């Protein structure tokens, strides 16, 4: 009797373990892309970050003459492919996601009607070239905000 119960438990466990193999072959694939879950997005971000780090470390080793030209090129290509795959998957997921805008919020990069982005290239007081997104002139310290509004 114990042997029969044990055998029944082994068969049930084997069927439970093997069920995904048979179910995935029988299930038809949907035509549209699957939405990317948060954990999948984190995995792709990690893959991209790790590939970038590996390339940076590889370039350091190459500059220290620890790698030959052929080894450097082969390994760098491998990591570049990994990074590009992750970036492509993230871009596809981002494009497939519908843009969600809450009440009172604007999508990124959206400006209200009638307002244009203005950038001052030179300070009106001293004429020094001003970096992008600067709020004050680096030479004279004058506020550039009032000039952008006027």
pLDDT (tens digit per residue) in 16-75: 888 888 776 555 555 555 666 888 889 989 999 999 999 999 999 999 999 999 999 999
78: nearest Cα among 42, 59, 51: 51
CA nearest neighbour of 121 among 131, 111, 109, 112: 131
- Encode burial over 35-71: b for 16+ CB neighbours within 10 A, e otherwise: ebeeeeeeebeebbeebeebbeebeeebeeeebeeee
- pTM, full prediction: 0.44
Residue 126 · residue 112 · CB < 8 Å: no
Q: Can you give the pLDDT at residue 149?
A: 42
Give the model's pLDDT for residue 138: 81
Residue 121 clears pLDDT 80, i.e. is over it: no
Q: What angle do CA 73, 78, 80 make, to 5 degrees?
A: 90
Separation of CA 114 from chain center: 33
């Amino acid at each position: 009797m114990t042997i029969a119960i044990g055998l029944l438990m082994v068969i049930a466990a084997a069927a439970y373990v093997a069920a995904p193999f048979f179910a995935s072959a029988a299930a038809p694939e949907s035509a549209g892309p699957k939405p990317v879950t948060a954990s999948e997005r984190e995995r792709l971000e990690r893959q991209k970050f790790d590939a970038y780090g590996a390339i940076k470390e590889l370039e350091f080793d190459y500059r220290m003459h620890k790698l030959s030209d052929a080894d450097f090129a082969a390994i760098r290509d491998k990591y570049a492919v990994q990074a590009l795959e992750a970036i492509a998957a993230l871009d596809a997921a981002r494009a497939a996601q519908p843009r969600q805008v809450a009440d009172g919020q604007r999508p990124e990069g959206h400006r209200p009607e009638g307002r244009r982005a203005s950038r001052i290239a030179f300070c009106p007081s001293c004429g020094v070239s001003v970096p992008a997104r600067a709020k004050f002139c680096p030479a004279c310290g004058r506020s550039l905000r009032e000039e952008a509004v006027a």
